[in-house]
Amino acid sequence: MNFKSIRLLTKTTFIYLVFILIAFFSTAAFIIERTNNFIDEDTENYFHRRERRLVKYIEESENHISHIRDLVRIDISIIDTSDYPKFRDTTMVVSQMDDPMLFRAKTILVNTSKGHFEYKMYKNISDFDKFRQGVLGTITNTFILLVLVLTLFSLFLSGFLFRAFHRILGSMSKYKIGSDFKLPDVRTSTTEFKKMQLLVGKMISQIESDYRKLKEYTENMAHEMQTPLAIIRSKAELLIADEKMMDEHSKTIKVIYDEATHLSNLGNTLNLLTKIENGEYDKVEELKTYDIISRHIDAVKEMFQLKGLALNVSLDSGHTLYLDPLLFDVMIKNLLKNALRYGLTVGPVTITTDADKLIISNYGSPLPFDSSKIFNRFVGSNGAKSALGLGLALVKRICDLNQLTITYNFHNAQHTFTIQPVAKQR
């Protein structure tokens, strides 16, 4: 599963914001809880004092108590005493004040020697409520302000303080092995960026050194192999020309010649593959493939005729690919060689191009191995000793490096290779 990447500064800012959100609103919740507890304690103390004064007044007063507001005589036998006391917050308008105010109401049962009463008391808690709302509003506004400040500061850091970092990354993205690249000196006062720049410079120098050594070794080995192989082939040709030797040792001499040729071609192909993988062929051009493919077909037409293979060619003059011309030559040569080597005469070798695709197919026997391995290196086919085992691997690598896909399919005794740009896939 692929996850979308997030910039480090964005991720850090987000973590800070989450932490601040948790810290701010945890603090707000604590303050509000403490405020609620204080309101509950203060109002309860107030109600308790009112209740004691009321009971004392009723017991000691000789006057009628009907003038006491919100005091109602009740028959305790017909009510559920478990419902008391009752609490309720209500909004009321005080005559001296224009705005509604919040009150805490408590309804209690009062048991005295003069009877049972229901009494309702009120306590103004507007100031507490305003304080509670003020705390929550202040914290919310402060958090919003901090979000804006941190976001702007993050943009500032990204555009200014991290400018040197992005320049170093931009320089690194332009690096290509074997191009004698020198990392530009990015001026910065940040210690970490200086260390990063120094480390990247050393790493590039080491990569270039290792690359040059490996390249020299590969090229020297491929070159030095050609001389003894050329001598072996030359001597084998002399033996082939000697009729007496051929009568007695024809199979042995032919094996020596074929294997020397095979080894020579193998060295050249491995050297070419190494250069391709190292990105030495980077002259990407817009290629109209009609003339190029036609030229390669003309070059091998006689070999197909000698083997009895018919060619069925249908080329679109508008077919276009974007890659190095040398690599396209290598790709076409290997595909044609593959069709020539393994094609059977039961049907033609078909070469077709249209607006999007290049298709080469030939009739042949089923693969003796898993078709998913056909582009692997050194996978033999039908026991053919002359096969390099690198041709299709070379084509696959060229496609991978140039945003092309090559697919293989076997159907109705036909081996079909299809090449098309990645963007054209369905």
Question: 384 or 395, which is more confident?
Answer: 395
Predicted local confidence at residue 288, as pLDDT: 92
CB 188 within 8 A of CB 291: no
Of the pLDDT bands very low, low, confident and very high (cuts 50, 70, 90), residue 15 is confident
| Per-domain residue ranges of the chain | 8-158, 192-274, 283-424
Q: How far apart are CA 131 and CA 136, in angstroms?
A: 9
Run of H or E including 324: none
Whole-number Cα distances in Å, 102 to 90, 94, 340: 6, 10, 96
- How many Å apart are CA 53 and CA 35, to the nearest integer? 27
At what angle are helices 243-277 and 191-241 packed, to 10 degrees? 170
Tell me the C-alpha to C-alpha distance, in Å, between residue 198 and each of 8, 170, 173, 201.
21, 15, 16, 5
Instruction: Say what the pLDDT of residue 384 is.
Output: 47
φ and ψ at residue 220, rounded to 5 degrees: -65, -40
Q: How far apart are CA 366 and CA 187, in angstroms?
A: 62
Half-sphere exposure of 281 (CA within 13 A, CB side): 22
pLDDT in tens, 77-124: 788 888 888 888 888 776 666 678 888 888 888 888 888 888 888 888
Nearest of 177, 401, 422 to residue 273 by alpha carbon: 401
Which is more confidently placed, 29 or 266?
Answer: 29
The pLDDT of residue 369 = 84
* Between 265 and 20, residue with greater pLDDT: 20
Cα–Cα distance list, 31 to 100, 128, 159, 227, 382 (Å): 25, 12, 39, 90, 82
Q: What does the mean pLDDT of the chain come to?
A: 81
Q: Kindly report the pTM of this predicted structure.
A: 0.49
pLDDT tens-digit series, residues 278-310: 666 667 889 999 999 999 999 889 999 999 999
Q: Provide DSSP, 234-247.
A: HHHHHHHH-HHHHH
What does the pLDDT read at residue 379?
Answer: 67
Supply 58's token pair.
Answer: 């009723």
User: How much of the chain exceeds pLDDT 70, in percent?
Assistant: 87
409-425 pLDDT, tens digit per residue, is 999 999 999 999 986 55
Say if CB 152 and CB 109 are below 8 A apart. no
Rg (CA), the chain: 46
Give the pLDDT confidence score for residue 363 in this predicted structure. 94
Quickly tell me which residue has 């896909």 as its tokens: 405
As given in the structure block, the two tokens for residue 201 are 């410079």
For residue 363, the cross-strand partners are 414
Closest by CA position to 140, among listed 37, 16, 20: 20
283-424, CATH topology level: Heat Shock Protein 90 (3.30.565)
pLDDT tops 90 at residue 222: no
Q: How many CB atoms lie within 10 A of CB 391?
A: 22
Give Cβ neighbours of residue 105 (< 8 Å, ≥ 6 apart).
Answer: 86, 87, 88, 89, 90, 120, 121, 122
